[in-house]
């Protein structure tokens, strides 16, 4: 009897971890963690279970139109206990737009969007890049569209290391020239 109960417990444990799935454009992604660093992931992304999606935000300069815009925009639906980490350079600013662009929330370091603290916003919101005055930018700078259910969350994480590495790279290249 103990062997049967132990076996059922192992099967339940294995079955619980199998719930973590990521679908990209309807296709099942092979791992439980997805890192988005460019526009190579097209289509709606569905995240379930305890999966993790890391989005590394970047700007793109469009020479034809002489403006800046998000390098890519993601569309993600997350549920269960999945986590989305929105990682961006420390000196960038973002705003959450919700309710058909009827309201907004500023994003700050360590901000977390979840269904508990923001139940009416979490089921559909956009993340917009706020450009500094004087910088030509695209009219609707949408960096991502999100839908959260259950205990899913989006964490906004500034990454000062990116700015530091770029600065050190410039210093190094200047010395070599």
Residue-wise pLDDT for 124-153, tens only, equals 999 999 999 988 998 889 999 999 999 999
Instruction: Write out pLDDT tens, residues 26-77.
Output: 999 999 999 999 888 888 999 999 999 999 999 989 999 899 999 999 999 9
Residue whose C-alpha is closest to residue 106's, from 139, 130, 70: 130
The number of angstroms, rounded, from the C-alpha of 148 to the middle of its chain's C-alpha atoms is: 12
Does the pLDDT at position 14 exceed 80? no
Q: What is the pTM of this model?
A: 0.78
Rounded average pLDDT over 14-29: 74
Cα separation, 49 vs 12, whole angstroms: 14
pLDDT reported for residue 40: 82
Whole-angstrom distance, CA of residue 54 vs CA of residue 37: 8
What is the distance between the alpha carbons of residues 98 and 23, in angstroms, rounded to a whole number? 24
Give the three-class secondary structure for 95. strand
- What confidence tens digit (pLDDT) does each residue in 62-116 have? 999 899 999 999 999 999 999 999 999 999 999 999 976 578 999 998 999 999 9
In this prediction, residue 38 carries a pLDDT of 86
CB 159 within 8 A of CB 87: yes
pLDDT at 43: 86
Other C-beta atoms closer than 10 Å to the C-beta of 81 total 15
């Amino acid at each position: 009897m103990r062997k049967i109960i132990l076996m059922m417990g192992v099967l339940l444990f294995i079955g619980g971890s199998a719930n973590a799935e990521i679908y990209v454009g309807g296709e099942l992604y092979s791992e439980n963690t997805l890192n988005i660093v460019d526009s190579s992931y097209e289509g709606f992304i569905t995240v379930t279970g305890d999966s993790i999606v890391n989005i590394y935000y970047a700007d793109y300069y469009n020479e034809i139109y002489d403006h800046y815009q998000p390098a890519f925009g993601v569309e993600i639906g997350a549920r269960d206990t999945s986590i989305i980490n929105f990682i961006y350079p420390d000196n960038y600013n973002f705003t959450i737009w919700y309710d058909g662009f009827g309201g907004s929330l500023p994003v700050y370091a360590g901000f977390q969007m979840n269904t508990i603290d923001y139940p009416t916003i979490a089921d559909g919101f956009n993340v917009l890049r706020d450009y500094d005055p004087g910088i030509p930018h695209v009219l609707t700078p949408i960096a991502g569209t999100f839908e959260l259910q259950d205990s899913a969350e989006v964490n906004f994480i500034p990454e000062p290391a990116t700015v530091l590495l770029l600065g050190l790279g410039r210093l190094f290249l200047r010395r070599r020239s």
